[in-house]
């Protein structure tokens, strides 16, 4: 049926009215029509779309009711990483941050954009030509989950941007949260329905965001504040963070009204104090404030470190505390084998969260605080997240209170527990067998720099462990296509590819295999040093602490880690099974012959892109020839190998007078 121009214009007018009313109600908090009038306009649009289905578009307000339930979330690769923030818990840390910014920029005073740090869930929103097309959770910062259909139901988020100039592409970063009043009403409804109440607004918001059925999300009163723009195309963007926020506001994307601009350290601390006093009266939960350099060019100068920007800082509020009783102290075994004492508590509400367990960190902390079963203790949520015991009320200690003793054997697998010199944590020695360490051991074993089993992701590993198909890393080499094909999201072709990747991984190097074993304190560099020194795995397994300490940069702690690992029979059994499955490598030269290799004793730094080989292969070739590769240029560097588009390492090498090799010269030297 052909739709007349009059009908099209009417539908468009109704949509614009509804979105404006949504904006007035949810963003400006100043509704201009009654609920009855709003409902009448909404019903009129719904009736029109029912009569003319061709009118229905993804950005129509009527599409906020939710879509059919999903079986799982699809992964989304972020266009740029969603980074976390470094935290500060006192004024000294803030002063240090301000000092670094001033010195890094060469300024006497820096202007900062400041805003509340909302207690919610980070989200990325993508708009094309002003129309909302995708939403993704933060995930691991690089890859998130596609929650587009859930976000469509959040009425405060516009499905279509409003403004005189609309960008061709806009990616917005922000925080999904739940206002305090909405959270209270939600729990009242839960109680009325006889359903479980939520512990706090943050959990309610995060849980609502990750519902596979978006119709459930549509029933939850979620809210949103944008805190930045990660990409904008087709529009000249402001040169400051504050200008970016003003642009978002013009586009009718909600931003926090309590943001501000301040100058210098005094401005930062004054804002922190102001928001701390206002915290209880604000309509949303916050666990601190965020400071960012306002000038975007200055942000670029300061750059990033690890997974956080240097130009920003989260200043957290002091954690809330409460008193309760320790019912028992148990031991939890982590993914790395660390044994952590955990206080099992009488349930207590801390910062709006019901706490039943609190970490005691390690044996030394238990003894220092003298925490015993039966004690009355103060509990806080460190950084408003991890519950911990902060002190004991000794005057309330009962005569029956029991002191804690760290077990000598792992409570999960029974293997011996050791505590290395200068380490605070006691650890299970059965890294390849212990069920508590199983997932971590397999993830590490299959990782790219270890056995490099392409396709062996965390979700697949979860399935293999949960179905008890894989109990140790050796079981990976018993997998077959029929077994894999029965798993979720694993079609026959994917199963074939994974089996091929497992088969390919059987041919490896000794250093990679040592690294893949996940021995405590043995990283890639130490694994290569061990492979070079001993030449064979059997020689390494037989080595005692004294012989191990003869290896370059292997001290008593690393030597004890290695001997403890190989002294555990179940670890040796897993290694035997791996070798029987066909995992093999070329035995390298022993220490007695290493000095005859062409690059013996030479230190290299690689920079830029090589045409004939990857940087990893170049690194392996250098090490096979007796050389060593480091990540930074110093006076001890013998050669810098420079490929296409070299970085600052080339400039430093030139300054220090270190020989620079192009790819051809490098290959000639290598061979």
**Residue 353 in domain:** yes
- Same domain? 150 vs 245: yes
Percent of the chain residues topping a pLDDT of 90: 47
- Same domain? 454 vs 518: yes
DSSP state of 615: H
- Same domain? 429 vs 523: yes
Q: Which long-range contacts (CB under 8 A, 24 or more apart) does 367-372 make?
A: 367/404, 370/394, 371/326, 371/329, 371/343, 371/404, 372/326, 372/329, 372/397, 372/401, 372/402, 372/403, 372/404
**Residue 71 in domain:** no
| Confidence at residue 351, expressed as pLDDT on a 0 to 100 scale | 66
- Domain end point (choices 578, 594, 610): 594
Only one residue has tokens 């020989």, namely: 659
| Confidence at residue 589, expressed as pLDDT on a 0 to 100 scale | 60
Q: What is the pLDDT of residues 497-515, one digit of tens each?
A: 999 999 999 999 999 999 9
507 belongs to the catalytic site: no
The domain that contains 636 carries what CATH number?
A: 3.40.50.10190
**Residue 70 in domain:** no
Q: How far apart are CA 150 and CA 241, in angstroms?
A: 28
Length of the chain: 671
> Total structural domains in the chain?
5
Which of 219, 274, 252 minimizes the C-alpha distance to 25? 252
Classify 611 as helix, strand or coil. Answer: coil
| Confidence at residue 49, expressed as pLDDT on a 0 to 100 scale | 76
The domain that contains 421 carries what CATH number?
A: 1.10.150.20
**Residue 582 in domain:** yes
Q: What is the pLDDT of residues 570-612, one digit of tens each?
A: 999 999 999 999 999 988 665 545 556 678 778 899 998 888 8
| Confidence at residue 352, expressed as pLDDT on a 0 to 100 scale | 66
- Domain end point (choices 246, 281, 316): 316
- Same domain? 150 vs 295: yes
Task: Give the DSSP per-residue string, 622-658.
Answer: HHHTT-EE-SS--TT--EEEE-BS--HHHHHHHHHT-
10, 117, 369, 405: which is the annotated catalytic residue? 117
- Same domain? 547 vs 622: no
48 in Cβ contact with 7 (< 8 Å): yes
- Same domain? 421 vs 383: no
Q: How far apart are CA 235 and CA 367, in angstroms?
A: 61
Both tokens assigned to 355: 């706490």
CB half-sphere exposure, 323, CA atoms < 13 A? 7
Low-confidence residues of the chain: pLDDT under 70: 1, 25-31, 35-36, 39, 58-59, 63-70, 199, 306, 319, 351-352, 382-386, 588-597
Task: Give the DSSP per-residue string, 503-563.
Answer: HHHTEE-HHHHHHHTT-TT--HHHHHHHHHHHSSHHHHHH--HHHHTTSTT--HHHHHHHH
Domain that holds residue 570: 412-594
**Residue 467 in domain:** yes
| Residue 330, strand partner residues | 342
284 in Cβ contact with 176 (< 8 Å): no
- Same domain? 382 vs 427: no
**Residue 75 in domain:** no
DSSP state of 195: -
DSSP strand pairing (507-508 vs 584-585): parallel
| Residues contacting residue 188 through CB under 8 Å, at least 6 positions apart | none
**Residue 427 in domain:** yes
Q: What are the C-alpha distances in Å from 590 to residues 12, 537, 575, 593, 624?
A: 78, 11, 21, 6, 12
210 in Cβ contact with 201 (< 8 Å): no
Which of 160, 179, 183 minimizes the C-alpha distance to 26? 179
The domain that contains 371 carries what CATH number?
A: 2.40.50.140
Q: What is the pLDDT of residues 19-55, one digit of tens each?
A: 787 777 655 656 677 766 776 787 788 777 777 777 7
124 in Cβ contact with 136 (< 8 Å): yes
- Same domain? 569 vs 609: no
| Element housing 332 (H / E) | strand 321-333
> CB burial class (10 A; 0-12, 13-18, 19+) of residue 488?
exposed
- Same domain? 126 vs 254: yes
354 in Cβ contact with 383 (< 8 Å): no
**Residue 76 in domain:** no
DSSP state of 164: S
The domain that contains 135 carries what CATH number?
A: 3.30.470.30
Which of 544, 587, 539 minimizes the C-alpha distance to 562? 544
| Residue 170, strand partner residues | 127, 232
Q: What are the C-alpha distances in Å from 351 to residues 33, 115, 273, 317, 382?
A: 37, 21, 19, 12, 11
- Same domain? 350 vs 381: yes
- Domain end point (choices 575, 594, 613): 594
| Confidence at residue 415, expressed as pLDDT on a 0 to 100 scale | 92
| Residue 603, strand partner residues | 628
| Residue 660, strand partner residues | 640
| Confidence at residue 592, expressed as pLDDT on a 0 to 100 scale | 46
- Same domain? 112 vs 254: yes
> CB burial class (10 A; 0-12, 13-18, 19+) of residue 471?
middle
Q: How far apart are CA 178 and CA 181, in angstroms?
A: 8
- Same domain? 481 vs 371: no
Q: What are the C-alpha distances in Å from 261 to residues 114, 125, 251, 270?
A: 6, 25, 21, 11
């Amino acid at each position: 049926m052909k739709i007349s121009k009059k009908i099209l214009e009417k539908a468009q007018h109704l949509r614009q009215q509804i979105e404006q009313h949504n904006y007035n109600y949810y963003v400006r908090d100043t509704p201009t029509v009654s609920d009855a009038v709003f409902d009448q306009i909404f019903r009129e649009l719904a009736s029109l779309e029912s009569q003319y289905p061709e009118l229905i578009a993804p950005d129509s307000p009527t599409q906020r009711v939710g879509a059919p339930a999903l079986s799982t979330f699809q992964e989304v690769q972020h266009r740029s990483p969603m980074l976390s923030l470094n935290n500060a818990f006192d004024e000294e840390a803030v002063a240090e941050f301000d000092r670094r910014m001033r010195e890094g920029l060469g300024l006497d005073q820096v202007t900062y954009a400041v805003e509340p740090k909302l207690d919610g869930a980070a989200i990325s929103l993508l708009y094309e030509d002003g129309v909302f097309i995708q939403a993704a959770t933060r995930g691991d910062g690089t890859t998130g989950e596609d929650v587009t259909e859930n976000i469509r139901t959040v009425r405060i988020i516009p499905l279509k941007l409003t403004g005189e100039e609309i960008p061709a592409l806009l990616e917005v970063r922000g925080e999904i949260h739940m206002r305090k009043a909405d959270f209270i009403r939600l729990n009242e409804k839960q109680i009325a329905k006889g359903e479980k109440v939520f512990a706090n607004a943050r959990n309610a918001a995060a849980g609502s965001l990750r519902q596979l059925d978006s119709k459930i999300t549509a029933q939850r009163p979620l809210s949103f504040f944008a805190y930045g723009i990660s990409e904008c195309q087709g529009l000249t963007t402001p040169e400051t963070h504050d200008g970016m926020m003003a642009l978002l506001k013009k586009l009718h994307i909600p931003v926090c009204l309590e943001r501000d601009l301040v100058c210098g350290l005094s401005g930062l601390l004054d804002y922190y104090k102001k928001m701390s006093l206002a915290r209880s009266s604000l309509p949303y939960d916050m666990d601190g404030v965020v400071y960012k350099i306002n000038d975007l060019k200055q942000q670029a100068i300061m750059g990033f470190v690890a997974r956080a920007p240097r130009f920003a800082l989260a200043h957290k509020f002091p954690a809330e505390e409460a008193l309760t009783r320790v019912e028992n102290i148990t031991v939890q075994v982590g993914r790395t084998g660390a044994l952590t004492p955990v206080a099992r508590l009488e349930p207590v509400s801390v910062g709006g969260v019901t706490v039943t367990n609190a970490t005691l960190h390690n044996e030394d902390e238990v003894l220092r605080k003298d925490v015993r079963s039966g004690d009355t203790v103060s509990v806080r949520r460190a950084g408003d997240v991890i519950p911990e015991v902060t002190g004991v009320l000794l005057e309330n200690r009962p005569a029956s209170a029991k002191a804690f003793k760290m077990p000598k054997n792992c409570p999960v697998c029974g293997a011996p527990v050791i505590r290395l010199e200068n380490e605070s944590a006691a650890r299970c020695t059965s890294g390849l067998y212990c069920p508590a360490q199983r997932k971590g051991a397999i993830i590490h074993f299959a990782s790219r720099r270890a056995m490099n089993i392409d396709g062996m992701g965390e979700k697949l590993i979860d399935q293999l462990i949960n179905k008890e198909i894989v109990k140790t890393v050796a079981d990976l080499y018993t997998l077959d296509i029929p077994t894999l094909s029965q798993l979720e999201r694993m079609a026959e072709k994917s199963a074939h590819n994974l089996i091929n990747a497992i088969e390919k991984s059987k041919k490896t190097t000794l250093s990679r295999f040592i690294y893949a074993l996940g021995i405590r304190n043995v990283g890639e560099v130490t694994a290569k040093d061990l492979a070079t020194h001993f030449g064979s795995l059997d020689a390494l397994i037989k080595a005692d602490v004294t012989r191990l300490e003869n290896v370059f940069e292997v001290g008593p702690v690393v030597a004890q880690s290695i001997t403890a690992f190989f002294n555990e029979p179940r670890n040796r059994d897993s290694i035997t099974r791996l070798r029987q499955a066909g995992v093999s490598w070329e035995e390298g030269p022993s220490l007695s012959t290493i000095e005859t290799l062409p690059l013996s004793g030479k230190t290299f730094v690689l920079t830029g892109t090589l045409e004939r080989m990857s940087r990893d292969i170049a690194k392996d070739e250098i090490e096979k020839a007796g050389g060593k590769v480091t990540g930074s240029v110093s006076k001890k560097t013998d050669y810098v190998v420079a490929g296409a588009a070299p970085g600052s390492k080339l400039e430093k090498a030139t300054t220090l007078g270190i020989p620079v090799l192009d790819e051809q010269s490098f290959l000639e030297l290598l061979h």
